[in-house]
Structure formats: structure tokens, C-alpha cells
Amino acid sequence: MKCAGTIDVRDVDESSINIDPIQVGGRLTADAMKAMIAYGDGYSVCDQCRKPFRLDYIRTPPIDQFHRDLASFVNMDTARVVPGARRGFQAVADAFISAGDPVLITALSHYTEVLAIEGRGGVIREIPKNESNIITSDLAAQKIEEVTREFRHSPTLLFLDHFDYQYGNCHEVEGIIRIAHQYDVPVLYNGAYTVGIMPVDGKKIGADFVVGSGHKSMAAPAPSGMLATTSEWAGRVFRTTGVTTDVTGRTFGIKEIGMMGCTLMGVTLMGMMASFPHVRERVNCWERELANGQKVVDALMAIEGTVIKSEYPRNHTLTRVDTTGSFDRVAQVHKKRGFFFSSALKGKGIAGIIPGATKVWKFNTYGMTGSQAEYLAAAFRDIARENGLAVTD
């Protein structure tokens, strides 16, 4: 079935239990889908844009209030919508980093954080992970000391993920931020895998900046996200233009340089806004989400030769699993080779695993019902038994 021309209809979430590690937190709500239809035209949100001609001042639809609500949602002072978390990283990097400045990331940071720093000519230094793939306060302190000795001043900025994209592990963010502040290092909290799916209190954590991903964790269309900060840094990262052009003498009001004026117009913003009441409620159900994920993890652990590479018990619904000693053993002799696994899952109505992956892979159970989690757990066990693997009851 085609939705237009050669574009196939996408029905993954309607026809399957989707466990794709990056998709499940961004599933649109029904309200977001309706808003996308209503505001599909390019500059649709600009119908009522009046002086001072800036996105966060528009009252109809209530975009101005949405910005205030976003700041309150993560307990920060000021927020802006941005085209994905990566643009939030970039805005902060542009405001703080000069060529040659040392900037800290971690051994598990996302590549977009690296690109944001590289684009400014910053010198990247990584905080290593420990043997459990956790970024600790002690390791952060050691690295800050090393960098301070190397450059003869403390790092300019620290990018810190609460839960990383590789393992979904929980890192010692509050302790690390306290240490960073002792060296006067501002910290960007990467909440791409937290903001919108679990409670986040930026001030309690101690973050100077909170970045969230709309399309990853806030049930919003891509690309969308948010950047929030405190009153201490708002004037710097959201600084306004002051230029006067030489020939025409033009000025540009209060357009924000780091935001390139306005950021999200049309479906991305309206989809994000329409989902927000649901998102604000669902973060209160995080413990239920963890319980559902734990059912699936425990089922996988019951399969002979399967190793959970993420921390255990799980603190997140994103999990990394190594089935080299289980499903990959089957793949070595199966007529479909590694594709047997995704094929077997598809036959049971489960999608989201990369076809051919039988060694190390990731999955995410966010948004499942209890019965769906039980079904998924049983499906993994059944596939194992059907292919001669031992399963502990």
C-alpha cells in the first residue's frame, strides 16, 4: 500500500510490537497526529505572529505558554524548542567554546556532542568508563584534574549523558556535576533518553543546561527537541542580535543568534505541543515501565549463553544484550543464518531488531503494556526453545 507515489505506508507500530531502541519514546500520540494534519503547511504557526516577531512570543496557538511549560517541566528557568537535541548541543557549544578550548565528554557520549565541539574547534577529552560501563564521580574528578594540568586551566564545558545510548546505563550525574562546579565547569545534561519518559529535575541535578529530544523521548515528530537553562546562563546562550547592516542600516529586533531566529515552525512544534499533556503525565509511570522491561530482560537471561551487557537490575528500558553464546550459535547452522532471528520475531509480530543481528544488539521496551512485555518475554524464550537452546524456567 502506498500513501503517495512510491512512498510506502509505514505501519510498524500498528502491526507489531516495536522494540527499536531509538523509536519507542517518539511514537506520536493521536493528538499529535491530528495537530500535524491541521498545521501541515510550512509556516502554519505564523498566522498570528506579531511584534516582536519571535516564536516564543506567539500566543495563538499558545507557543509562548508552551515555552514556559517546558522550562517548568524540567525545573529550569528558561527554555527554547530546537530541531533535535543535537541543535541544543550546538547552541551551547557556540556560546561557550572557542578554538583550542578543552571540553569534556564521556567515553559513552553521543557522536552529535562530539560534532558540536569539533565545529567550534574545541579540544575533546573523554572521561573514561569503569569496568561496569559506568561514568563515576571519581573518574570525572581525575579527568578534570588531568585536563586542568594539561591546559593550565579547567575545562570550558562538560557534556554529560544521564543514560547513555550504548548501554542505557545510569551514570553518577549529580555527583559529577557537583565536582565539575567545584572547578567552575558548566555542565550540559544530555536528557535525550530521559526528558519525556521519566521525571527530570534540572536544578536538583545541578545542571546548567538540560537538553531533551522531542522525536526520541517526547512523542514528537522529527526533528524536535528542547534546550533549557538557568537565569545565570540564559543571556549568554539565548543572546540577541545587535548588528546594524552597513548599507541599509537594518536591525533585527530581538532575534536570538544561537537559535537562528526561530527554530521549529509547523508540524514539528505543533506535534510536540499536542503530545505534551500526555508526556507530562507519562513520566510519572516510570516505575511501571522499568518493571515491564525487567520482565523481558529476565526472560533473556534465562536463555543459555545470553548475557545482559547493561547494568543489572535495569534502571532504563533501553538494554544492550549479547547473544553470541545463544542465538548466534543457532545462526551458524541455520539455513537463514543470522536472519533467522529477526524472521522468527517478525513471525511473532515483533519488529525493531536489525535484520541479521544475532551477536550484540539493543532493544527498548518503553511504552509497552504489561501483557505486551509478557508476550515479548515469552517470544524470546519460545524462539530459543524452538532452536534447541536451553531455557531456565
Return phi, psi of residue 209, to 5°. -140, 140
Average pLDDT over residues 49-72: 95
Which structural domains are found in the chain, ordered by start?
Answer: 2-24+285-386 (3.90.1150.10), 50-265 (3.40.640.10)
State how far the Cα of 366 lies from the Cα of 316, in Å rounded to an integer.
Answer: 9
* Angle (CA) 206 364 37, round 5°: 90
Please give the pLDDT value at position 3. Answer: 87
State how far the Cα of 246 lies from the Cα of 60, in Å rounded to an integer.
Answer: 35
Instruction: List strand residue ranges (DSSP E) for 195-306, in order.
Output: 209-213, 225-229
pLDDT digits (tens, 9 = 90+) for 376-385: 999 999 999 9
C-beta of residue 381 within 8 angstroms of C-beta of residue 303: yes
Q: Find the distance separating the first CA and the last CA of the chain, reported in whole Å.
A: 42
Q: Give the confidence band of 164 by pLDDT, cuts at 50, 70, 90.
A: very high
What value does the mean pLDDT of the chain take?
96
pLDDT at 215 over 90: yes
State how far the Cα of 21 lies from the Cα of 327, in Å rounded to an integer.
Answer: 19
Please give the pLDDT value at position 259. Answer: 94
Average pLDDT over residues 257-263: 93
Q: Give the confidence band of 2 by pLDDT, cuts at 50, 70, 90.
A: confident
pLDDT digits (tens, 9 = 90+) for 173-206: 999 999 999 999 999 999 999 999 999 999 999 9
Burial of residue 376 (number of CB atoms within 10 Å: 0-12, 13-18, 19+): buried
C-beta of residue 106 within 8 angstroms of C-beta of residue 171: yes
Please give the pLDDT value at position 241. Answer: 96
Q: Chain-centre distance of CA 74, in angstroms?
A: 14
Least Cα distance to 18 among 371, 383, 344, 372 occurs for 372
The pTM (predicted TM-score) of the whole model is 0.96
Rounded percentage of the chain residues whose pLDDT exceeds 90: 96
Helix (H, G, I), strand (E, B) or coil at 226: strand
State how far the Cα of 262 lies from the Cα of 256, in Å rounded to an integer.
Answer: 8
Please give the pLDDT value at position 1. Answer: 83
Please give the pLDDT value at position 107. Answer: 98
pLDDT digits (tens, 9 = 90+) for 67-105: 999 999 999 999 999 999 999 999 999 999 999 999 999
Average pLDDT over residues 339-364: 96
Please give the pLDDT value at position 246. Answer: 97
Q: Which residues, including other chains, have CB under 8 Å from residue 301's CB and lie 6 or more apart? A: 308
- Helices 286-301 and 370-386 cross at an angle (nearest 10°) of 10
pLDDT digits (tens, 9 = 90+) for 127-148: 999 999 999 999 999 999 999 9
| Sheet bearing 123-127, strands edge to edge | 78-82, 225-229, 209-213, 187-190, 157-161, 102-106, 123-127
Please give the pLDDT value at position 393. Answer: 82
H/E element holding 32? helix 30-38
In DSSP terms, 240 is beta-bridged to 256
Please give the pLDDT value at position 265. Answer: 87
State how far the Cα of 150 lies from the Cα of 294, in Å rounded to an integer.
Answer: 43
Least Cα distance to 13 among 2, 34, 29, 32 occurs for 29
pLDDT digits (tens, 9 = 90+) for 288-342: 999 999 999 999 999 999 999 999 999 999 999 999 999 999 999 999 999 999 9
pLDDT at 154 over 90: yes
Average pLDDT over residues 219-233: 97
Please give the pLDDT value at position 85. Answer: 97
Please give the pLDDT value at position 307. Answer: 98
State how far the Cα of 175 lies from the Cα of 197, in Å rounded to an integer.
Answer: 22
Least Cα distance to 361 among 345, 385, 382, 378 occurs for 345
